[in-house]
Structure 1
Amino acid sequence: MKRMARSRRRKTPGMNLTSLMDVFTILVFFLLTNTSSNEALEPPKVITLPDSVVESRPRETITLMVTDEEVLIEAKPVIATSEVAGSEETVIEAIKEAMLAEMDKAISLAQVNSQAQVASEAVESEVEPETAAEAGSEEETPVLPPEVNILADRTIPFSLLKKVMSSCTDAGYTKVSLAVIQKASQG
């Protein structure tokens, strides 16, 4: 009887949360590392990109979207697509002005991309990234020109895209890329 009375007085042990906390910690790190990587552009639902076989991932740049209804720069509407198509001019002033307004952001993104390129070259040549960055700063690594990625629906005529690309080039963006859907490489 005494044994039974002693066993009833003991509290039952609580649930051990150590393994549960380990799982949540791993989950948090997984989510943090995967949400910070910008390896691919996600096109909006209103744009259907053309297919292509490409080798490299896009860099982070200024994004210009051409939909059936309007032209957007960094998700801000600039001009209606019908106005661009109806214009006789090669350079559309509204697009050029909006691209010039985004030039500071484009230059800072180009600097980040050039630093990333120096770091990746250092990894390939098995040099410490800090050492490569210091060596690159001493030699004044050339800053990459500002870039723009154009996301256009596959039904947009090339004559309209040509006007958009000419406007970007006239604004000082020397690297113009068209976004496509990456297909599996053939071979």
Structure 2
Amino acid sequence: MNQSRRAARMGRHHKRRGVVALSLTSMMDIFTILVFFLLVNSGTEQQLPSNQSVELPQSLAQQLPKDALIVMVSKDDIIVQGRRIMSADAAEKLEDDVLPALLQELKLQSSNRLTVAAEERNPAIVMGDKTIPYRLLRKIMYTLSEANYTDISLAVMKKEKPVS
């Protein structure tokens, strides 16, 4: 079968080039970088730790928690980032609004956190049991503000909207 001049020229050109090997090294580098990029950027929302000793109040709040310091307050203990700081009874009995043991731990946690700028807000999430007294919650929030945690949030369970 006769080929056109163009088809014959293309055939000769392809015979000269031979088999082209695909370079997998650069492709693997690109995929490795892509995997790390996706892993780092997929974890922007923070999952709050679950604890059976803390029963959160319910709310219709829609906002998800961001990366922040977690202060958990159960009926018995005050826990910062999973570490027990003091008992809730001892904190409640203190006359002063500032809880010294909690303040010391908060300053330690603040110094350990990586901050980009000095004016950046220090976020904190208080996971308080729904039965703790308000004066204890107020003392904890006041101590957080004394430790320069300016963005304080309260953790709640998302309540489903009633169907009407």
Separation (CA, whole Å) in 1 of partners of 2:160 and 2:60: 7
- Note if 1:49 corresponds to 2:83: no
- Note if 1:155 corresponds to 2:131: yes
- Note if 1:177 corresponds to 2:153: yes
CA RMSD after TM alignment: 2.5
- Note if 1:167 corresponds to 2:143: yes
Q: Per-residue CA shift, 1:128-185, capped at 9, x if unaligned? A: xxxxxxxxxxxxx885310110111101011100001100100110111110001234
Q: Per-residue CA shift, 1:90-109, capped at 9, x if unaligned? A: 11111111000000344x2x
Separation (CA, whole Å) in 2 of partners of 1:88 and 1:98: 19
Write the letter of the residue equivalent to 1:160. Answer: L
Segments of 4+ moved more than 2 angstroms: 36-40, 141-144, 184-187
Write the letter of the residue equivalent to 1:177. Answer: S
Aligned residues: 124
Separation (CA, whole Å) in 2 of partners of 1:142 and 1:87: 32
Query: Is the Cα contact below 8 Å between 1:43 and 1:151 reproduced in 2?
Result: no
Matches within 5 A, 1:98-177: 98-106=105-113, 108=114, 111=116, 144-177=120-153
For 1:81, the equivalent position in structure 2 comes to 88
Structure 1, gaps ≥5 residues long: 1-28, 112-140
Write the letter of the residue equivalent to 1:51. Answer: Q
Write the letter of the residue equivalent to 1:53. Answer: L
Query: Is the Cα contact below 8 Å between 1:92 and 1:164 reproduced in 2?
Result: yes
For 1:60, the equivalent position in structure 2 comes to 67
Matches within 5 A, 1:4-83: 37=43, 38-83=45-90
The percentage of counterpart residues that share the same residue type is: 23
Query: Is the Cα contact below 8 Å between 1:61 and 1:147 reproduced in 2?
Result: yes
Separation (CA, whole Å) in 2 of partners of 1:149 and 1:75: 13
TM-score (structure 2 length as normaliser): 0.67
Write the letter of the residue equivalent to 1:44. Answer: N
Separation (CA, whole Å) in 1 of partners of 2:74 and 2:110: 22
Write the letter of the residue equivalent to 1:157. Answer: P
Write the letter of the residue equivalent to 1:79. Answer: M
For 1:95, the equivalent position in structure 2 comes to 102
Superposed displacement of residue 68, structure 1: 1.2
**CA 1:184/1:40 → structure 2, altered by over 3 Å: closer, same or farther?**
farther
